[in-house]
Copies of this chain bind each other. A is one copy, B any other.
Amino acid sequence: MQNAPRKARNSATSTRRKSAAVTIHEVAQRAGVSPMTVSRVVNGNANVRAATRELVMRTVRELNYTPNAAARSLAAASGTRIALIYTNPSSAYLSELLVGALDGASKAATQLVLDTWDHMTRATERAAARKIAQSVAGVILPPPLCESKAVCSELVAAGIPVVAIASGRFQPDISGVRIDDFRAAQEMTEHLISFGHSRIAFIKGHPNQTASALRYEGFQAAMAAAGIPVDPTMVQQGFFTYRSGLEAAEKLLARKKPPTAIFASNDDMAAAAVSVAHRRGMDVPRDISVVGFDDTPTATTVWPELTTIRQPIAAMAASSIDLLLRSIRRRKDGEARVVVDHVVAHVLVKRDSVAAPGPG
């Protein structure tokens, strides 16, 4: 904080230390090309001769060169940091989500930042959205945040690119990666029906997620197509938690004429139904079949292992990163916003929790 002029520093050789890692200059020198050419090759840019490209790639391999992500982000001024915002640390698919997101991020030399938004008022959500828009270049939103109109509109208004993951229904203002929840639930119900089940109970997911409604709709559609009426007393509200699954299953299995199968909207609730059945002296699947959804680790941390729908969360997360980076690039280039609806395949995973209904 002084106003007096300062003498220029003596222009001696800098003593600044260089990192131990191989740099683009070393590769360039060895290959006999410019650093810019190495950059073009490594980044897959056009306008490099095939022979030059091969020579550079060989040199990269020999020196085991890995680009410095920080330098790349800084120079490219591309989105260096993206945030993944989640609400529930115990969420059954968080690890798969993180593994997939980290994989996608590290391939793109991008820093993944976690943030947790839980039990927030509208005002704090708004403030959080504004703050994050200033420190990251884009946001990945899993449910239930991606279902919140308030969250989405704040982020969109802040001009930050957003990608929803596993959002159930496509939303016209943000891009997303999802499975077809309706079709998946329909298939699972058809699977149960194919075993001869007609007294099928359904435990709904949390109403704050559109996937819940879609899964129920898929169930209903398959039942209708098979000419089986849905008894509303065979439908219980759950909240995607083990505890809510216990409560729902107690009600279903306490009935005079219990169901022969339970389709729970996620694996945790299905595991709870298995526990209740066992404690009531019922054999799974002989006396009652139980199926879940998501193929989380819970599906195999229960006995018998659950037949469930696999949602490829890790691949979806990596796809989300890709989509988000594309969006950030378009924004940077002043191009028009494009909203993408990327639907990936689900898989019906057959394990040991389903059998034909017994004689009762």
Q: Does A80 contact B (CB under 8 A)?
A: yes
Find A106's partner among B22, B73, B109, B111 (CB 8 Å cutoff): B111
Is B102 a contact partner of A300 (Cβ separation < 8 A)? no
CA distance A17 to B74 in the complex (A): 12
Is A64 a contact partner of B135 (Cβ separation < 8 A)? yes
Q: Does A57 contact B (CB under 8 A)?
A: no
- Shortest Cβ distance from A304 into B: residue: B275
Can you tell how many copies of this chain the complex includes?
2
A283 contacts which chain B residues (CB < 8 A)?
Answer: 279
A112 contacts which chain B residues (CB < 8 A)?
Answer: 102, 106, 112
Is A302 a contact partner of B275 (Cβ separation < 8 A)? yes
CA distance A53 to B18 in the complex (A): 30
CA distance A80 to B33 in the complex (A): 27
Q: Does A126 contact B (CB under 8 A)?
A: no
A276 contacts which chain B residues (CB < 8 A)?
Answer: 303
A275 contacts which chain B residues (CB < 8 A)?
Answer: 274-275, 278, 302-303
Is B17 a contact partner of A64 (Cβ separation < 8 A)? no
**29 A–B contacts, CB within 8 A, in A order:** A21-B134, A22-B134, A69-B80, A69-B111, A70-B70, A70-B71, A70-B72, A70-B74, A71-B74, A94-B98, A95-B95, A95-B98, A98-B99, A102-B102, A103-B114, A106-B111, A242-B300, A242-B302, A242-B303, A271-B302, A274-B275, A275-B275, A275-B278, A275-B303, A276-B303, A278-B279, A279-B283, A281-B281, A298-B298
Chain A residues within CB distance 8 Å of chain B = 1, 17-19, 21-22, 32-33, 37, 49, 52, 64, 66, 68-74, 77, 80-81, 89-92, 94-96, 98-99, 102-103, 106, 109, 111-114, 131, 134-135, 242, 246, 268, 271-272, 274-276, 278-279, 281, 283, 297-298, 300-303, 332
Q: Nearest 10 A-B pairs (CB), nearest first?
A: A95-B95, A278-B278, A70-B73, A70-B70, A94-B95, A98-B98, A70-B74, A66-B135, A64-B134, A242-B301
